[in-house]
């Protein structure tokens, strides 16, 4: 199977899909869409691996510890654009995650990074330390990184992206990394591009008042752009009001094509090629040709 679309950041491993996750994955595959499920803590990372191994191809996993799981907080419906939840405190266990990374269906580490939305000032160093630990594991295993970053609308700590750039520069990354759900301005995009970032966009770019994203998408070279849903959150237009799922990633591709004034087929093909390159996903047709 050579798919048309790929959702490089989904959460069908989350409880929102507990009752029908298999049907959601099947629907995506039947609609020429591959799926990468991303962990946010050890339990959801392990679940992502379990789901990936149900399928011979087209479903993969990313494992890691999200910075919001370093502190306890309630994340309400407005904040997450979906069902609210309470995080519990977890410490990064390098050995446990290292075992998950041995599975061939695991294609990256994450989502990891910095999230200052709820935190207290004394949590910043803990987040940086955990992020660096996952960067080091990525280096050791030659896995790319799925990077999350968000400023502190509630905590009032607004320097998350400055700190992110500092950590990335000091880490001297030689592995690919993805700036997931990129929602910032052109200046930051330029800084991250210099560091070698890929950029993943989701349903936010279909919402009203997205001038900044339009400018960024126009600026970025096509070979640095990826598509995601972040489902079950951030459902794109025209499906607002519904639970998001991977099959809706085609709406993101269509919007990117519209912004860049390119044919959708060309954009979809480029994004798939980018995903294969970043995550080391082989083209099965090419592999068979080489073997023959």
pLDDT in tens, 14-43: 999 999 999 999 999 999 999 999 999 999
Range from 83-92, 123-132, 229-238 carrying the lowest mean pLDDT:
83-92
Mean pLDDT of the chain: 90
> Cα(21)–Cα(216) distance, rounded to whole angstroms?
33
pLDDT score for 211: 77
CB contact set of 129 (below 8 Å; sequence gap of 6+):
none
Three-state secondary structure call for residue 71: coil
pLDDT score for 82: 53
> Cα(292)–Cα(287) distance, rounded to whole angstroms?
9
> Cα(287)–Cα(244) distance, rounded to whole angstroms?
33
| Model confidence at 179: pLDDT above 60 | yes
> Cα(146)–Cα(177) distance, rounded to whole angstroms?
6
CB contact set of 51 (below 8 Å; sequence gap of 6+):
12, 13, 21, 25, 37, 59, 61
**Residue 138: other Cβ atoms inside 10 A:** 24
Does a cis peptide bond (omega within 30 degrees of 0) precede residue 111?
Answer: yes
Task: Return the half-sphere exposure (C-beta side, CA atoms, 13 A cut-off) of residue 167.
Answer: 26
Domain 5-291 matching CATH 3.60.15.10: the answer reads no
**Residue 136: other Cβ atoms inside 10 A:** 12
Residue 119 DSSP label: -
Scanning the structure block, which residue is given the tokens 């990313």? 62
CB contact set of 90 (below 8 Å; sequence gap of 6+):
41, 42, 65, 69, 70
How do residues 194-224 score in pLDDT, each as one tens digit?
A: 999 999 999 999 998 777 889 999 999 999 9
Domain boundaries, the chain: 5-291
Provide the H-helix boundaries in the chain.
21-30, 42-52, 77-80, 94-101, 124-141, 160-171, 186-194, 211-219, 249-260, 264-279, 284-291
Give me the mean pLDDT over the 91-100 stretch.
97
pLDDT score for 219: 97
Dihedral angle sign, alpha carbons of residues 65, 159, 228, 82: positive
pLDDT score for 1: 60
> Cα(210)–Cα(212) distance, rounded to whole angstroms?
6
pLDDT score for 111: 96
């Amino acid at each position: 199977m050579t798919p048309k679309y790929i959702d490089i950041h989904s959460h069908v491993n989350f409880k929102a899909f507990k009752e029908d996750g298999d049907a959601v994955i099947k629907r995506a595959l039947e609609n020429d869409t591959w799926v990468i499920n991303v962990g946010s803590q050890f339990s959801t990372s392990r679940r992502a691996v379990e789901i990936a191994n149900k399928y011979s191809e087209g479903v993969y996993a990313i494992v890691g510890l999200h910075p919001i799981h370093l502190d306890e907080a309630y994340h309400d419906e407005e904040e997450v654009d979906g069902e609210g939840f309470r995080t519990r405190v977890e410490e990064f266990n390098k050995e446990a995650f290292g075992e998950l990374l041995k599975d061939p269906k695991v294609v990256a580490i994450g989502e990891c990074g910095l999230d200052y939305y709820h935190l207290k000032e004394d949590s910043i160093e803990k987040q940086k330390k955990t992020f660096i630990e996952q960067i080091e594991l990525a280096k050791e295993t030659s896995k790319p990184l799925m990077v999350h970053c968000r400023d502190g609308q509630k905590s009032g700590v607004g320097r998350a992206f400055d700190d992110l750039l500092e950590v990335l520069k000091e880490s001297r990354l030689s592995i690919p990394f993805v700036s997931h759900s990129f929602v910032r301005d052109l200046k930051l995009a330029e800084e991250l591009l210099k560091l070698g970032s890929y950029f993943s966009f989701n349903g936010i770019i279909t919402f009203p008042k997205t001038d900044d994203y339009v400018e960024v998408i126009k600026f970025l070279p096509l070979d640095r752009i990826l598509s995601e849903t972040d489902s079950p959150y951030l459902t794109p237009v025209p499906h607002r009001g519904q639970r998001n799922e991977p099959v809706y990633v085609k709406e993101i591709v269509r919007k990117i094509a519209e912004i860049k004034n390119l044919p959708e087929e060309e954009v979809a093909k480029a994004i798939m090629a980018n995903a294969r390159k970043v995550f080391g996903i082989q083209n099965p047709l090419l592999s068979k040709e080489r073997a023959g």
